[in-house]
Structure 1
Amino acid sequence: MHRLWIPLLLLATLAIPARAAELTADAVNGAELRNRPPAEDKMDPVAIRAQVLLDRAHVSPGEIDGRFGDNARKALAAFATAKGLASGSKLTPELWDALRQDQAPAIVTTKITRDDLKGPFLKKLPRHMEDMKDLPRLGYTSPREALAEKFHMSEALLKALNPKSSFDKAGEEIAVANVIKPNETVPEITRLDIDKQAETVQAFDKDGNRVAVFPATVGSDDKPTPIGSFKVESIDANPNYRYNPDYKFKGVKARKPFDIKPGPNNPVGAYWIGLSIGQGYGIHGTAEPSKVGKTESHGCVRLTNWDATFLGQHLSKKATVELR
């Protein structure tokens, strides 16, 4: 009997660390493409590394969640086109090698700062717009949410990489996606190409070079985004949101206009780029980055907060916009 238990116990002991090690920084940074594609239904070290490298190349996969889903595949196809490789959404050895030309680690350690913790944080984000109008700021609900957005990650992935952290101690080291490039020079963006079918926004400089690609939510059947040629009319960081009853959004019963204060969790997120379409159409951020490219919008073009911020910071006030 004892002879049977010893090998079984040994097998169980060996199995546990292997599973736990899947999402360490070292496991992600050393991940290599094997004989199977990166997983869509669970966090995968190869998927995490690929998503971070795509983000660093300004071909945004949206929220870095460790799952190689639709937004990651769209980003990969755009990356392939930029590199002159066979276009497609499958992570091939050729595309993997091209991504790995950026030799920076995908996951790095950083220290939580006092600014990360100062808030103020909401106890809970109201579900209805009417309940938001009396709040002084539509901030994050926790330091973990703030840190996840700062590094373009899902909260679940941030927690998986830091299972022992409560994200509430200044000076604590945590593992995060290596997406911040402080000394990078980015050319001014003078033209946007928004594809409603592909649900992407492509950004170009004055010479026609593509600067960035973002996944987007573009309109809905109830309120489709108009097609045509337009201009940028305004660029605002930390915007207020003004609700007009003429919008007739589902679930909003107010018959008079009301304002919602700024903050990353207000209805238009961290940035607003107004377009010459009129009637409140624009490009903006969102409180729900995981839903970008996967749900409908109220006619606007919705990006993650970090993609909207990048775009707003580098966009010419005279930029043109093609919606097709």
Structure 2
Amino acid sequence: MMVQTNISLKPYNSFGIDVSAEWFAAFSSADELRNLLKKSKNENKLIIGGGSNILFTKDVQGYVLKNELKGIELVNEDENYFYVKANGGEVWHEFVLHCIENNYAGVENLSLIPGCVGASPMQNIGAYGVEIKDVFHELEALSIEDFSVQKFSGKDCAFGYRESVFKRKLKNKFIILNVTYRLNKRPKFNIEYGAIKQELEKMDVQDLSIQNISQAVINIRQSKLPNPKEIGNAGSFFKNPAVSEVHYLALKEKYPNIPAYEILNSSDKKIAAGWLIEQCGWKGFRENNYGVHSLQALVLVNYGGASGKDIYNLSGKIIESVKEKFGVELEREVNII
């Protein structure tokens, strides 16, 4: 465990923004983490994993602590489920591949989502009709205040759309050490959402499996989303907004092709943010070395050398134009630092 000073965070965020941290250290055990928290007791602290959902707009004063807790194990099973525990620093997609290899079903639709396991419940990550809350069992997190380890159930996590208690009430109060997922022994295939069904047809799949659903999702994501190793980005920059049924019907009358999705136990509708942004003319927009991706309007990109403020200001202009045209206020999904 080595603490470095004035280190560039460019390698530690998928946007590739070049800012510096006053102090930086990685931890690979709970004891190392406790020692770092004691050392940094009176300083600001930022915990990162894969850095795939962060936009740095300035240098970071205080400590940046990188979660490198590794390990995946089957901790229990019953008639219907496998209970699989993964440590917070595990790369999410590597965890998904581990599950697929062992026929643990439920996370195949979440293939190739960037980031680490620790962020999965924090963000309640989701794609193609599946969210973490659907496969979540429990997690253990370490209190930044008293260094105790506490268990959280699904109810404790208060999951919402790309939300959890760790992004609201308990923000900056806990560090997620590990997550236990409840995965199906008998797969329940979810292929109705997005382009999965079409991709499976293109692949000429005869017998559905979690393996070929995962491959279909990987194919779709690779065709639409830029690789952060080649073009700096954080995936979807905005959340899909929810609007009232009345508002949706008014929009539908004016824009018959507007894509919308049902929200469970609500008359509200979720509108595709990418479609709204595209209708405002932003898709493929470029200014100097940053812009909006040409294939997916939800993705803002750094072509190299852009500042976080450049990208943040662009996101503000997009929010303003969508609100003006549709009366819908977009919310940023990416964490702004």
Settle same-fold status: TM greater than 0.5: no
Q: Give the greater-gyration-radius structure (CA).
A: 1
Higher strand share: 2
User: Under a length normalisation based on structure 1, what TM-score does the superposition of the two structures give?
Assistant: 0.27
Could you state the TM-score of these two structures normalised by the residue count of structure 2? Answer: 0.27
